[in-house]
Amino acid sequence: MTENLKSVPVMSELFANGESPEVLFWVGCAGSFDDRAKKITGAFVKILNSIGVRFAVLGTEEGCSGDPARRAGNEFLFQMLAANNIAVLNGYGIKKIVTTCPHCFNTLKNEYPELGGSYDVMHHTSFLQKLIDEGKLIVEGGSFKGKKITYHDSCYLGRANQIYEAPRAVLEKLDGELAEMKSCKSRGLCCGAGGAQMWKEAEHGSKEINIERTEQALELQPDIIASACPFCNTMMTDGVKNKNKEDEVKVFDVAELIAMANHLI
């Protein structure tokens, strides 16, 4: 993953020792292989390690959730990927999963049960909110004093699963100003990467949708655009670069902001 991380427990090793984690961290393809998203993975792991959460990852046993395949219309590939993952998860007796990717979250939570994989799946923003509410995670938000932050709703977290408040509740622990874009929550605007659009060329039109969304964010003159999805992060970062604003406006995942606040990264 990223350098300077504590050892990350692998499920096979724990299982061999007769141990089980509190939660399985499903890293996802982006969080495993994309250089930018790996930083989000690292930030979340550092938060978990800093407060002693017992977690594990599948490591090389984790396959793609199948979300891109199903969205692109390859149902056979989706079911093959899902079946392999379900066999691994059920083999380890996994009950609780947390993931930093809304696409993985939606697929594992809502689509795996019909194939025999039923788990308690949480998105990392909900998990962080739970840790904060339980008093296990204390956020030192002072370093964000005077900063304006706007949060971009991921489609698969927001409209698909009605999770709007958890990421905002976590961000409110920072001593910054949380400002809302004109299209937010149930009226949020897609970044343009979902539905397997990330892997195809844009169709003809007058403007890329991520540019439109970035313009909505920049209207607020924020210091930070917060996201909770690796694909949204990529699309918003590209939008900021398109506007030549990368020196003024930074795009970070919610987990990165919490890790930064607590001086973990």
| DSSP secondary structure string for all residues of 41-77 | HHHHHHHHHHTT--EEB-GGG----SHHHHHTT-HHH
Reported as a single tens digit per residue, the pLDDT across 75-133 is: 999 999 999 999 999 999 999 999 999 999 999 999 999 999 999 999 999 999 999 99
pLDDT > 70: what percent of the chain? 97
Reported as a single tens digit per residue, the pLDDT across 52-85 is: 999 999 999 999 999 999 999 999 999 999 999 9
pLDDT of residue 141: 83
Domains and CATH numbers, the chain: 11-130 (3.40.50.1860), 139-261 (3.40.50)
Instruction: Report CA-CA distances (Å) from 246 to 72, 182, 258.
Output: 32, 22, 21
138 has pLDDT over 90: yes
Q: What is the mean pLDDT of residues 10-22?
A: 96
Between CA 203 and CA 196 the distance in angstroms is 13
pLDDT of residue 1: 42
4 has pLDDT over 50: no
CB distance 229 to 238 below 8 Å: no
Between CA 66 and CA 81 the distance in angstroms is 6
* CA 205 to chain CA centroid, nearest Å: 29
What tokens does 149 get?
């932050």
